[in-house]
Amino acid sequence: MSQKALLALCIAILLPVASYFIVKSASRDAISMPRKYYPENTIDTVINGKKVTDTVWYQLANGTFTNQLGKQVSLDELRGRIIIADFFFTHCPSICPTLTRNMKSLQESLRLKDVTKRIDTTFVQFLSFSVDPERDSAEVLKKYADKYGINHDVWWLLTGPKKEIYDFALNEIKLPAQDGGTVDSLFIHTEKFVLIDKQGIIRGYYNGLDSVALAKLAEDLTLLMLEKDKKKPSPVLAELLSLWPIYLMVMAGVALFVWIVRRPGKKIQS
């Protein structure tokens, strides 16, 4: 076997592994993931003699509410899903109908992506909390949902005790921090859409009435869909590592082939 052929064979064997690490490094440098909000504390560890500081981010607490189908649901059920949340009420004469239509557009865009199978959209959940729960019963929310063509499986319209909803908006979603402290604790009326990742960490606030902000939300949502849990091994790397016996056999076969080809031939006696 010529040296060029041998080199080509070695490249063919090593290329998949090398490509993975090149793409992984380039992706880490090129993509800026949505920021995280509200650090709680830091943890220092020593790895290979170097001090590494990890930030512990605030995670939303659990809450139990009633959706438009009359079912009791909890936020803990949604761990592992990306959440887009907003606050509205069905009798709102101003911004709420527009917010609902814009949220519906996001729902439809994800449905189209799911049809093309280009990206997994099965773990995105929409939440709309009613800030007028006295009037917004489950039955009222169901009629509102049907009016706007809401998919009941992926979009919950939530009601419950007013204090619990307002405490969630003020203390968990932290709306005053994003609205300049102007949120009225007696009646919450905000245009914010909130992006929450699979661990329950807030990753962004967006003006639900602004097309540029909505485009940014869609972009950040896609990035979160692709985000990998650092504590879990990459599925691509795991797949490559699972093939190590095949790589080992191929390399052994190549070595044996090279040894046979290059072994000095026996002299033929006359």
pLDDT tens per residue, range 128-184: 999 999 999 999 999 999 999 999 999 999 999 999 999 999 999 998 877 666 666
Do 183 and 190 form a contact (C-beta atoms < 8 A)? Answer: yes
What's the confidence (pLDDT) of residue 26?
Answer: 45
Mean pLDDT highest for which of 87-101, 102-116, 185-199, 250-264? 87-101
Average pLDDT of the residues of the chain = 80
pLDDT digits (tens, 9 = 90+) for 56-96: 999 999 999 999 999 999 999 999 999 999 999 999 999 99
- The terminus-to-terminus CA distance of the chain in angstroms comes to 29
- Work out the angle at residue 170's Cα, subtended by the Cα atoms of residues 82 and 99, and round it to the nearest 5 degrees: 55
CATH topology of domain 57-226: Glutaredoxin (3.40.30)
pLDDT digits (tens, 9 = 90+) for 199-218: 999 999 999 999 999 999 99
d(CA 223, CA 28): 12
Query: Where are the chain's structural domains?
Result: 1-33+230-258, 57-226
